[in-house]
Amino acid sequence: MKLVIAEKPSVAMSIAKVLGAKQRKDGYTEGNGYVVSWCIGHLVSLSPPESYGEEYKKWDNLPIIPNTWKYEVYKGTKKQFDILKKLMNEKRIDSIVCATDAGREGELIFRLVYNQTGCKKPIERLWVSSLEDSAIKKGFDNLKSGKEYNNLYTSALCRERADWLIGMNATRYFTVKNGNNGVLSIGRVQTPTLAMIVQRDRDIENFVKSKYYTIELDCGEFKAVSSKFESRSDVEEIAEKCKTARVSGVITEKKAVNPPKLFDLTSLQREANKIYGFTAQETLDLLQKLYEAKLVTYPRTDSRYLTEDMTETAKSVISAIVDTMDFTEIAEPDIKRVSDNSKVSDHHAIIPTINIKSKDLSSLSKNEKDLLYLVSAGLLMAVSPKYEYESTSILLKCMDFDFKAVGKQVTNKGFKEISEQFAAQIKSQKENDDDTILPYVVSGDEFSVTAKVLEHFTQPPKPYTEDTLLSAMEKAGSSDYTETDIERKGLGTPATRAGIIETLLKRDYIRRNNKQLISTEKGRNLIDTVPDKIKSPKMTADWENELSLIAKGKSDSTVFMAEITELVKSIVK
């Protein structure tokens, strides 16, 4: 028999149903040649510092750098671990199928349990991007050797151990250095993220606004505006003398805006925060529920493309969306635009599944339904035509100063038609996209004008929201990389960024003010205490890139861990 181990009971039940393993037991189900059981998230964790020696109970005994890493079973889930250990060592079990989430953390969850039980049986890997019955069946028809994912596991181990080394050592060191006046919690990703928020808040506080001025010419049928002026007296003098303006040129251009890409986790979290006010964690939790309900594909993806063999699947899903939701049919969906094998690493972009057609969507919570509609609209927009318009600029001269009037006439709404339908469904204010049609003029035409001085102020940076912070985390250190690079830099991964934000909130380093994320005095004090190398977004982004390369067998895990170890030693020296 094969023992299948899923990450959660609900996923195990979906797999068991497809495999015909219907006999319920304590902590597993079996039948038809399979035993299906589950973890409950992480069952095994790294041991605390004191397990390496009594001397490490003192926080000033540093550095703590294990020669051999120790692990232990979580007390709260020991019963399920014992069930898995018994099953994995039963004689009737010939091989183990790793069916945890198809990603770095899922691989780690399974391998730690496998190693802790002392199991030596061969591993096969189920790798699916959807929990639809057809996807699970296809996955079991094409099980991979567990060895193919050894590099992914190595990457996960490096991430876990690097976080432990930096977190344990730096937290203890800076807490003691700070006179044990409360724990200063340091994290490999957490602290650079906090540093960005603190820096943004200080930039806002230190911002000195300044005035500038423009002149608006009322030409009767349209208005034109000058460039910026710094002196009010100068601009008032010009405005007072501006009585006649002459057309110096007319520029007409055909322009187009490409449709947005499909959603990966980070872009979906950002959009859901903008539209619904969902936190990143709320979006991930809702998406996980929709995934387990077999209504969307795998959530924790960093790709915004489909694989090139998904054309028929995409067509079917698009048709199901139109039949199920209030969207107009797209005459010729351009699926080729969103399909690119080179831009899909472990999982393709997030899209709905064909099950939306058969599922009673009224059974979903309002937030689940809202997010499903957003994912559905995202797919339709991505395969819709470009938004096309004609832009006209009238250039004028008055008192030898330049003025400009800009008009626009939409020639093809394209994907914005879907955007408007979505806005209507969620009763959102649609964007102002009306035509601004300028009159027909030619060079040399003259107008009697009325000039008005407009006063403006420079604006400070805006506080981070989860939308803009997620974007900043994703882009950290990415200046040397192009969009085509699969190994992208950034703080954390799509799967971990929401958790990092929640950790900062939980530890009172930041607080929410409506949608804004604001640093607290406690958070600022921490950032002021630690050196640049601990809070550098670029360094952490470089490490994340290394972890991605390790997962693909393109970088050496030993070198990576040696660099982390040397950093830890330099911190506590």
Cα angle 298, 542, 534 (rounded to 5 degrees) comes to: 110
CA–CA dist 150, 388 (Å, integer): 48
* pLDDT value for 487: 47
Structurally, at CATH architecture level, domain 211-258+387-457 sits in: Distorted Sandwich (2.70)
Q: Quote the mean pLDDT of the chain.
A: 93
pLDDT digits (tens, 9 = 90+) for 491-549: 988 989 999 999 999 999 999 999 999 999 999 999 999 988 889 888 888 888 899 99
Q: What is the mean pLDDT of residues 54-70?
A: 95
In the structure, what pLDDT confidence band is assigned to residue 486 with cuts at 50, 70 and 90? very low
Percent of the chain past pLDDT 70, that is, above it, reads 97
Helical segments of 297-364, H only: 311-324
Residue 227 in contact with residue 397, Cβ under 8 Å?
no
Inform me whether the pLDDT recorded for 253 exceeds 70. yes
Q: What is the mean pLDDT of residues 436-451?
A: 94
Q: Which pairing describes strands 34-38 and 28-31: parallel, antiparallel, or unpaired?
A: antiparallel
Give one DSSP letter per residue of 178-218, joined into a string.
TTTSS-----TTHHHHHHHHHHHHHHHHT----EEEEEEEE
Total Cβ atoms within 10 A of residue 511: 14
Inform me whether the pLDDT recorded for 430 exceeds 70. no
C-alpha distances out from residue 52 to 61, 67, 166, 283, Å = 12, 10, 16, 39
* pLDDT value for 537: 87
Contacting residues for 299 by C-beta, under 8 A, at least 6 apart: 265, 284, 287, 288, 291, 350
Q: What is the mean pLDDT of residues 252-268?
A: 97
276, 298, 305, 464: which is the annotated catalytic residue? 298
Structure tokens at 426: 């969620």
Specify whether 276 is catalytic: no
Residue 24 CA from chain centroid, whole number = 38
Structure tokens at 41: 């998230």
* pLDDT value for 488: 53
- In CATH terms, the fold of domain 265-382 is Topoisomerase I; domain 4 (1.10.290)
Give one DSSP letter per residue of 524-542, joined into a string.
HHHHHHS-HHHH-HHHHHH
Closest CA relative to residue 93, chosen from 61, 120, 56: 120
Task: For domain 2-142, give the CATH number.
Answer: 3.40.50.140
Structure tokens at 487: 């190994």
Which residue ranges make up each domain of the chain? Answer: 2-142, 155-206+462-572, 211-258+387-457, 265-382
Percent of the chain past pLDDT 90, that is, above it, reads 87
* pLDDT value for 161: 97
Fold agreement between 155-206+462-572 and 211-258+387-457: no
* Residue pointed to by tokens 């393109």: 554
* pLDDT value for 267: 96
Closest CA relative to residue 569, chosen from 25, 38, 62: 62
* pLDDT value for 484: 47
C-alpha distances out from residue 102 to 68, 249, 287, 306, Å = 28, 59, 15, 16
* pLDDT value for 427: 74
For 98-102, 235-239, 394-398, 541-545, which range has the lowest pLDDT when averaged over its residues?
Answer: 541-545
**Sign of the Cα pseudo-torsion (568, 186, 549, 545, in order):** negative
Question: Please, how many CA atoms are within 13 Å of residue 255, restricted to the half-sphere of its CB?
Answer: 13
- In CATH terms, the fold of domain 155-206+462-572 is Topoisomerase I; domain 2 (1.10.460)
